[in-house]
């Protein structure tokens, strides 16, 4: 799935870039001189967990993650710092789900946990742009983000012994990406692809220190690919 997302992004960017370069008129010639401008984005994502196990009372622990695709939507506030450098705040909502398989647990009911999440995702990123060429302008992105997990179950008194898989509510990420600005007649269209990676351990451990679900886990953190389409 990730390879398909990257391939779609590359093909789409190439096609739109060729179209933009064929335009003889330079669209929106003063757009990048604005100190502040706004926009919005729509997109898709695929998230799973980076998982590290540790030695525990659970022998031969075996945990696998099955990700699925989700959606992104949000707003953009862009501050021009330099002709090739912008600071961007991109608050939005993200939805996705994952299945976690605890293969060392024999019973089917206890061996699978579905984690469906809705996040408030607040990235603060630096955008490093090349000089504009006709109606296109490639760029790189790098920054940090804060995620508030509305579906974390962190304060739930029940844990996996009662069928409740719990995660941390407050999480921090770093992200890097590439994209291209395409200047159209009335707005700037910017497809981008970025990787998002957790900095903190997101799992909420069960009350039982020897829990067969959480005791083997040393680190569980989000990692994902975001494909966004921005309109500014």
Structure token digits, residue 33: 């001189």
pLDDT at 5 over 60: no
Tell me, what's the pLDDT at 29?
A: 85
Q: What are phi and psi of 27, to 5 degrees?
A: -80, 150
Q: Cα–chain-centroid distance for residue 158?
A: 28
Which structural domain, as residue segments, surrounds residue 17? 2-24+40-231
Tell me, what's the pLDDT at 50?
A: 92
CA distance 126 to 131: 16
Tell me, what's the pLDDT at 4?
A: 52
Would you state the torsion angle of the CA atoms of residues 29, 14, 123, 69, taken in this order, to the nearest 10 degrees? 140
Query: What value does the mean pLDDT of the chain take?
Result: 89
CA distance 150 to 208: 24
Q: For residue 140, how many other CB atoms are within 10 A of its CB?
A: 16
Whether 145 maps to a domain, the answer reads: yes
**Which residues, including other chains, have CB under 8 Å from residue 187's CB and lie 6 or more apart?**
28, 39, 231, 232
DSSP string spanning 112-138? EEEEEEEEEEEEEEEEEE---BTTEEE
pLDDT at 3 over 70: no
Which pTM value belongs to this model?
Answer: 0.85
Whether 199 maps to a domain, the answer reads: yes
Over residues 101-128, the mean pLDDT reads 91
Whether the CB-CB separation of 65 and 98 falls below 8 Å is answered with: yes
- Partnered with residue 15 across adjacent β-strands are none
Whether 31 maps to a domain, the answer reads: no
pLDDT at 153 over 70: yes
Top pLDDT among 198 and 56 is at 198
Q: How many domains does the chain have?
A: 1
pLDDT at 94 over 90: yes
Question: Mapping DSSP to helix (H, G, I), strand (E, B) and coil, where does residue 33 land?
Answer: helix
Whether 224 maps to a domain, the answer reads: yes
Whether 34 maps to a domain, the answer reads: no
DSSP state, residue 155: T
11: domain CATH number? Answer: 2.40.160.20
Length of the chain: 232
Whether the CB-CB separation of 139 and 179 falls below 8 Å is answered with: yes
Whether 30 maps to a domain, the answer reads: no
Least reliable range by pLDDT among 6-10, 111-115, 159-163: 6-10
pLDDT at 26 over 90: no
Whether 164 maps to a domain, the answer reads: yes
pLDDT at 139 over 80: yes
Whether 208 maps to a domain, the answer reads: yes
Over residues 24-49, the mean pLDDT reads 90
């Amino acid at each position: 799935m990730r390879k398909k997302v990257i391939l779609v992004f590359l093909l789409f960017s190439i096609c739109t870039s060729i179209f933009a370069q064929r335009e003889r008129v330079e669209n929106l010639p003063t757009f990048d001189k604005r100190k502040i401008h706004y926009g919005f984005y729509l997109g898709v994502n695929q998230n799973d967990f980076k998982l590290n196990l540790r030695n525990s009372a659970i022998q031969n622990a075996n945990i696998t993650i099955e990700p699925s695709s989700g959606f992104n939507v949000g707003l953009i506030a862009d501050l021009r710092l330099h002709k090739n450098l912008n600071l961007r705040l991109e608050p939005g909502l993200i939805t996705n789900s994952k299945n976690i398989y605890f293969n060392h647990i024999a019973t089917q009911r206890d061996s699978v946990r579905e984690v469906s999440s809705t996040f408030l995702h607040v990235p603060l990123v630096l955008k490093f742009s090349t000089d504009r060429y006709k109606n296109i302008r490639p760029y790189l992105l790098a920054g940090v983000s804060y995620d508030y997990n509305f579906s974390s179950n962190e304060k739930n008194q029940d844990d996996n012994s009662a069928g409740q898989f719990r995660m941390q509510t407050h999480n921090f990420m770093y992200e890097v990406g590439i994209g291209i600005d395409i200047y159209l007649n009335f707005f700037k269209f910017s497809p981008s692809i970025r990787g998002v990676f957790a900095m903190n351990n997101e799992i909420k451990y069960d009350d039982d220190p020897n829990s067969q679900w959480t005791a083997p886990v040393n680190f569980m953190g989000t990692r994902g690919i975001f494909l966004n389409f921005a309109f500014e």
